[in-house]
Structure 1
Amino acid sequence: MNPTLFLKSDVSNPYLIYKTMLQNNRVYWDETNKIWAIYSYEDCVSILKNSKAEIPVVNANNEQKLNKKTLEILNNLTRLSNGIQHEISKEIAMLLFSKMKTVAINLIISQLIKSDLTENKIDWVNSVCKKLPVLVVLRSFGFEEKDCEFISEKIESLVKIMLPQKTEEQVKLINEVSSAIFLIVEKQLSSLHFFESLQAKISEANSLSLDEIKTISISNLIGLFIQSFDAGRGILSNSLLQILNYKTFSNKDEIQKSVIETLRFNPPIHNTRRIATEDISIGESQIKKGDQILIVLASANLDSEKFENPINFDIERSNNNENLTFGIGGHMCLAKHFSIHLATEALWFLFDNYKTIELLENNIQYEPMINARLPKTIWISLQ
C-alpha cells in the first residue's frame, strides 16, 4: 500500500504505517502522487512554520462551478488563505470567537441523548458528535431555534465545500445549502450589538469596505460551523473510544487529560497540505518550488524523539498538549481550546450521569477519507 495517500477506511491501523515511515523515511518523496510526505515532528513543525509553504488553492478558476455565495465563503476562510488575507481573516475569526457566549453544554447533550436513546442504546456519532459542537456554536451566537435546526441538518452537506475534488451532486447540494446558510448568518450577525463596531475597527485598520468585512465575517463564522462538525465530531468520537478502552473516567480532570492524549494518540485529523512557493531544504531533501507537501500530523504525534513511549496511551505524559493535531504557527486551529473544553464537558456529563457505558461494536468502521480518521458509528449502551 502507498504510505502517503490512502483512505483511512481501508487500513485497520494507519499508525503502523507511520511508525515504519518514522523509522525509514521521515521525509519521503512519493513519485506516484508527486507529493512530499513529512513524518517527523521536527520536520512537520518546520514546514508548518515556513512562510514558503502555503495553503494550496482550492477550486482555482472555479472549475467546480460554485455559485457566488459558496465562492465567497470558500475564498474568505481563514484556514484556506495566505498572506495578508490570512492575517485579516484570522483577526476577524479571533474577534468572533471572543464574542461567543457561554451556553449550557450539559443541557444540549442531555436533550440529544434523550431524543435518540432507544432501549438504552444510542449511536454516539450520529446522535451526539455530529450535532453537539455545531449547536453549541450556534447557540453561543444567539441563533433562533429554527435556524439552529436548519444549519444542524444541512452542515454535513456544507462541509463538503472543503473537498479538493467534488462530484456534481456534491456541488449542487453545497451551492443550495451555502446560499441559504449565508443569508441566515448575515441576518444574525447584523443583529448582534458588537458587530457594527467590529466592522468599523477592522475596516479602518485594513482599508477594506464594511461590506468586505461583513463577507469575511460571515464566511468565518460559517467556517466555525464547519470546523466544529469535522474536528468536534472526531474529538468526541475518538476520545470516547480511548476512555472506554483505558477506563480513564474517574473525574473531570482525568477526562480532560484523556481528551488531550487522544488528540495525540488517535487524532481525528491525520494530515494537512501545503505547496512550496520557493525552494525549501529539509535535511538532505530539497523541496522544489511548486512541489506539493503532505504534513502527516498523526505521524509527528508518534515521534519518539518528541514523545516518550509514544505508542502508549498515557494521560500523565507531561508534553501531550504539544501534539500537532491542531497545527502550529500562523495556521494553528483557533478552535483548539474550545474543542477540548466542549469534549471534556460532554464526556464528563456522559460518565457522570450513566453508571454503565458499554461499547456495542467490536469493529469500528471509518469514513473513506484521506486526511481524517472519523468513525462512521459508535453504538453504545447507557444504563
Structure 2
Amino acid sequence: MTTLFLQSEIKNPYLFYDKMIAKNPVFWDENSKIWAVYSYEYCAEILKNENAHIPKLPFNPNLNRYALEIIDNLARLSNGVQHQITRETTNTLFSYMKNVGVDSILKELINNEINQNQINWVDSVCKKLPILTVLKSFDFNENDCIFILEKIESFTKIMLPQKTEEQIKFINEHAEEFYLKVEKHISTLEFYETLIFKIAEKHNIKKEEIIPIAVSNLIGLCIQSFDAGRGLLSNSLLQILQNKNVKDKTEIEKSVIETLRFDPPIHNTRRIATEDFVIDESLIQKGNAILVVLASANRDAEKFENAPNFDPHRKNNHENLTFGMGGHECLAKYFSIHLTTETLWFLFTNYKTISLLENNIQYEPLINARLPKNIWISIYN
C-alpha cells in the first residue's frame, strides 16, 4: 500500500481515501517513510498542532541568490516568528489590493482564444485569469504582466523539493528578472513605505529585512494563483456543468465552496514533527514526515453528511480543510472563492449554452494537486 501517487495515474482517488478513513486513518507508509493522515478529526489535529511544522525546501546550492531569497521568505514555507512576520506582511499586501473586475479580463481572454465556439478552459482562462487579476490589482504594467504570465508556469517549479537540471536552469535564468521587476514595481506603490515601516516597527527589525519578504510573497501569490487558482476555476466549472447548479450568483458561490470540499485542487499538504506526539494511539516521532490528506478529510462521513454527494446546500461545507486551518490557513482563501464565483457568473450570464466536449478528463502528474490538463467546452451566446 502506498500513500504517494500521481493524480494522473488514478481515476478516482476518493475510493482509496474512503478505505483509509475506515481502516487506517493514521497510517505509516514504510516504503515512503511518511505518516499519512486521512480522517477529518486527525487532519485537523495535525494542522493545529504546534509541533507539526511546514517542512522547509532542502537547500539547493545550484540555485542563484534571487531564487534562494524567494524560497527563504515565503509565508507558506515559514514557521515560528518568521511565519508571523511573513504572514503579517502578506496580509497587508492583500489589504492593499485594488478591486479589479474580472469581466473585462475574461472577455478579452475568451475573445482571443475562442475558435468556432470552442475553447480550452484550462489553457485559455484558468492559467491566465487568476494571475492577471493579481497583477492588475497591484497596477503592474502591460510588459511586466506579459513577462510574468509567460514565465509563471515553469517558474512554479521553484516550489518542488527536488528539481531537474532543466528546471534549475530555467529558474536561475529568470529569478533575477522576476525578483527585480516585482521589487521595482512594489516600491512605486503608494502603500509601500507604510507597509515596510509598519512591519519593521512592530517586530523591531530593519526595514531592509522587510523588502525581500514583501517581494517574495507577492511572487508567491502569483505562484499560488497559477496553481490553486487555476485548479479551483477548472474543478468548479466541471462540477457546475455536471450538477447543473446555475441559478444565481449565490448558487454559484455555494457550488464553488462545495467544490472545495468535494473536488478540491489541492489534495494534500505536508508537515514534519518537531517533537514527539501521539495521534490515534500512534507515536509520531520527532523528525517524522507527515502527509495531511485534505481531500480525504473533506469526504469524511463523520464530518459531512452524505459526504460522497455534491450538495451546495449542506450547512457545513465551509468547514472543508482545503485551505488548511489555524496559523497556516491559506491567505488567498476568500480571494480565490470570490474570483471563481465572479468568473463563472460572468460565463453563465453571457453564454446561454455551455457544454463539456469531453468526459474523460486527464490530470497533471502531480502528487499534491489534482489539476485538469485540459477542459474543452463549447460556448454560445
Do they superpose with TM above 0.5? yes
What is the CA distance between 1:280 and its match in structure 2?
1.2
1:53 — aligned with what?
52
Residue-by-residue CA offset, 1:182-236 (whole Å, 9 max, x unaligned): 1111111100111112111111222222221111000001111011111100000
Query: Retained in 2: the 8 A contact 1:160–1:170?
Result: yes
Picking from 289, 296, 299, the partner of 1:302 is 299
Q: Deviating runs (4+, > 4 A) in structure 1?
A: none
For the pair 1:94 / 2:108, whether they are aligned, the reply is no
What is the CA distance between 1:3 and its match in structure 2?
4.1
What is the CA distance between 1:174 and its match in structure 2?
1.3
Query: Retained in 2: the 8 A contact 1:55–1:275?
Result: yes
Distance 1:255 1:205 in 2: 40
1:356 — aligned with what?
353
Residue-by-residue CA offset, 1:65-124 (whole Å, 9 max, x unaligned): 111011000000000001100000000000000000011211100100000000000000
Q: How many pairs are equivalent?
A: 380
Amino acid at match of 1:363: N
What is the CA distance between 1:332 and its match in structure 2?
0.4
Picking from 221, 224, 227, the partner of 2:224 is 227
1:372 — aligned with what?
369
Residue-by-residue CA offset, 1:243-301 (whole Å, 9 max, x unaligned): 00000012111110000000000000000000001001002111011100000000000
Query: Retained in 2: the 8 A contact 1:157–1:177?
Result: no
1:72 — aligned with what?
69
Distance 1:202 1:245 in 2: 46
Distance 2:195 2:344 in 1: 35
1:326 — aligned with what?
323
The runs of 5 or more residues in structure 1 that have no matched partner are: none
Picking from 98, 109, 127, the partner of 2:124 is 127
Please give the residue correspondences for 1:1-383 in structure 2 after superposition, counting only pairs within 5 Å. 2-60=1-59, 62-63=60-61, 65-383=62-380
Structure 1 residue matching 2:271: 3-state secondary structure: strand
Distance 1:182 1:344 in 2: 31
Query: Retained in 2: the 8 A contact 1:231–1:269?
Result: yes
Distance 1:353 1:118 in 2: 17
Structure 2 residue matching 1:191: 3-state secondary structure: coil
Query: Retained in 1: the 8 A contact 2:2–2:32?
Result: no
Distance 1:35 1:275 in 2: 9
Structure 1 residue matching 2:265: 3-state secondary structure: coil
The runs of 5 or more residues in structure 2 that have no matched partner are: none
Structure 1 residue matching 2:36: 3-state secondary structure: strand
Amino acid at match of 2:122: V
Distance 2:87 2:263 in 1: 27
Query: Retained in 2: the 8 A contact 1:239–1:259?
Result: yes
